[in-house]
Structure 1
Amino acid sequence: MGVAWPFADRNEGFREGLELALDEINRQGVLGSRIRLIEKDDKSSVTDGLTIAQAFANNSELTAVIGHRSSAVAVPASKVYDHAGLLLLAPSSTAPGLTAAGVDRVFRLIPDDTQIGSTMAAYAHAKRFNNVAIFYANDEYGRGLANAFEDEAKAVGMQTVDRLTDYKDLNDLRRIVAKWKLLGCDAVFVAEVMPDGAKFVSDLRKAGMKVPVIGGDGLDAAALADTAGGAAEDTVVASIFNPFAANEAVRHFVRSYEDKYNEAPRKWAAQGYDSLKLLAYALEQAGSREPSKLAEALKRTKSWQGASGPHSFDGSGDVRDMPIILKQVKDGAFQYLTEGARANE
């Protein structure tokens, strides 16, 4: 199996989650043999990612690929894999375009931007925010998430007062903030990844904007509070992993991870773990290593329970039923807002 991820710079427990799953799977084997991983670092680069994708496509021993972290890499790479007849399990790409091109063997193991954006808009509506500004990255991830949030916000009667993708400096942002205040902006939605998301949150507070900040899963990193400091306080973000969930699959993963690595797992560890465990499940269900049969087995999958919650797949390869968790920065650390949370992260 091939794995493509920015291991050197943005691993964040992903390799450890893979290794834990690999150990568990290979104790008994799958279809009479052990799984072997070929890991490549794509550096979150489209060029490097496509080079790796082509190398994997040319490797006749590979059945499936797990990766890539960035949607900007995963979307074009997915076409290479599908054309080569390989199965792709995408644990982090939220861009709707990943599964919108009619590919047959591409599976998304995380809620997409439409699901996450809709969830955050529903949260904003429940908090009675009426006039929201959107700051977003001008890339596959940022545009998709911003659009999804704005569409759902409009559907529930909220108004988007402005959309911003860049600003020159702090003085420019102060000018923008002054305009937002005149427009009655009562919350800011951030569709950006780290560390740029943390920088914006910090600059937003320096520019004098004190309204609540909410964000997508791109802000779900301990570095948000570490980088933005007090500016990040009370920020609410989307996540996909609750280590305190009252579920045996989650408890087993957390215990095993802590025993092996002497630290608590975070979401990318859970996604790495689930990716490989789900692949092993598909191999068992299909009784074959043939990628098309694995794809058929995954599309039949209903409520498979992983560390990140239940997984079902629709005909396009998008995951369904997977919970979206809300977290809020309190006293410099994330607190889970989802029912059942018991501690800070």
Structure 2
Amino acid sequence: MSKIHRNGFLALAVSSALGLSSFAQADVLIGVAGPMTGANAAFGEQFWRGASQAAEDINAAGGVNGEKIKLIRADDACEPKQAVAVANRLVDSDKVVGVVGHFCSSSTIPASEVYDEAGIISITPGSTNPQVTERGFNAEFRMCGRDDQQGIVAGDYIVDQLKAQKVAIIHDKDTYGQGLADATRAQLNKRGVKEVLYEGLTRGEKDFNALVTKVRSSGAEVVYFGGLHAEAGPLVRQMREQGVTAKFVSGDGIVTDELVTTAGGAQYVNGVLMTFGADPRLLPDGKAVIEKFRANGYEPEGYTLYSYASVQALAAAFNGAGSTDGEEAAEWLKQNSVKTVMGEKSWDQKGDLKVSDYVMYQWGPDGKYKQL
């Protein structure tokens, strides 16, 4: 018998012993986990805003099996140990039946072990490391693509569009950042381009001048960075201040207007390239929701709609299964597609999207990014 089924029988036995109906639940509790504080809090804010609007809209339409969704905010600060503590709290104290999260792959991977053990379905809007879905967990999903898909798009673009032969690869030594950098490096090597520099930096650092000197000495035409905006901003600024004009290319870890702030101005991010899923704000499926966000003075950038769609997926799975049992909901999600603000989504047996849609974006002189 699976862990999830054992937990389900245990819950039924307890409710029966107490003389309670197994359907007498007040709310459908869903955790929203990510960096609500710290250097990457911009992504936590995107998660929370997307999930909150989705819960509000789903509740207004009748909720989940007649019950209302209630969200529980969980701050992991993109720290693995804190993510595990948060996951245990969501399971043991908050009694959630589903989780939208986490953001950093280094947080999602250990936290999802807690959810798997407890039989809780979870879906990450933004963790792209392949290992998130490669460990055989029944109820772990993602609303985004994988780094081994994203790295191919980045590597091919650098070779085919930028025509670069000299590429410096820099990463932040983290599960996500180094994993993405390595995936891009692998594709570049496959295409016949050997990197002229491969270096790691440490999260939280702000002085990259010694690293920039190495980049200049390498003669790199392109600098590829695997990491998040908190380090990408200062790095690209210091490159420009030292006269390094190499194209700066990164991934979906810099998809926030906070990149401009960390860089010190739009002039430093102008021309920066990044891979991300096709802009969901351009799809007709989410038009009404996007207008609702904008009417409230919020631009649903980055992972906002990914988080909204993740709540939609959980709600659809619970409704479709007629239950908040994690394994039943997971099985339903693997057998059915879901209409979301990001279009119709469907998943394979690992919990990965069947279709990944990475494309290239460019930051402009106005400090905004646009899909190329």
Q: Same fold (TM over 0.5)?
A: yes
Change (3 A) 1:305 1:209: farther
- Secondary structure, counterpart of 2:187 in structure 1: helix
Q: Give the aligned partner of residue 136 of structure 1.
A: 171
Q: Which moved more, 1:309-318 or 1:166-175?
A: 166-175
Q: Which runs of 5+ in 1 are unaligned?
A: 339-345
Figure out how many residues of one structure are paired with residues of the other and give that number.
332
Change (3 A) 1:267 1:157: same
Once the two structures are superposed, residues 211-240 of structure 1 have per-residue CA deviations (whole angstroms, 9 ceiling, x without a partner) of 211111112221223332322220111223
| Residues 1:234 and 2:263 aligned together | no
Q: Give the aligned partner of residue 332 of structure 1.
A: 366
Are the aligned partners of 2:209 and 2:238 in contact in 1 as well (CA < 8 Å)? no
Q: Give the aligned partner of residue 191 of structure 1.
A: 226
Q: Give the aligned partner of residue 21 of structure 1.
A: 54
CA drift of 1:59 comes to 4.9
Change (3 A) 1:178 1:31: closer
Change (3 A) 1:74 1:120: same
Counterparts of 2:56 and 2:244, CA distance in 1: 49
- Secondary structure, counterpart of 1:264 in structure 2: coil
Counterparts of 1:188 and 1:327, CA distance in 2: 16
Change (3 A) 1:103 1:334: same
| Residues 1:256 and 2:292 aligned together | yes
Change (3 A) 1:248 1:290: same
CA drift of 1:268 comes to 2.4
- Secondary structure, counterpart of 2:368 in structure 1: strand
Pick one of 80, 98, 111 that aligns with 1:64: 98
- Secondary structure, counterpart of 1:7 in structure 2: coil
Change (3 A) 1:274 1:204: same
Counterparts of 1:154 and 1:161, CA distance in 2: 11
Q: Give the aligned partner of residue 3 of structure 1.
A: 32
Are the aligned partners of 1:241 and 1:267 in contact in 2 as well (CA < 8 Å)? no
Pick one of 268, 278, 282 that aligns with 2:303: 268
Matches within 5 A, 1:138-287: 138-166=173-201, 172-181=210-219, 185-228=220-263, 229=265, 230-240=267-277, 242=279, 244-245=281-282, 247-259=283-295, 261-287=296-322
Q: Which runs of 5+ in 2 are unaligned?
A: 1-29
Counterparts of 1:109 and 1:244, CA distance in 2: 15
Are the aligned partners of 2:208 and 2:235 in contact in 1 as well (CA < 8 Å)? no
Give the TM-score normalised by the residue count of structure 1: 0.89
- Secondary structure, counterpart of 1:39 in structure 2: strand
- Identity score, percent: 27
Pick one of 52, 67, 74 that aligns with 1:40: 74
| Residues 1:93 and 2:102 aligned together | no
Of structures 1 and 2, the larger Rg is shown by 2
CA drift of 1:138 comes to 0.3
Are the aligned partners of 2:149 and 2:356 in contact in 1 as well (CA < 8 Å)? no
Q: 1:187 is matched by which residue type in structure 2?
A: V
- Secondary structure, counterpart of 1:12 in structure 2: helix
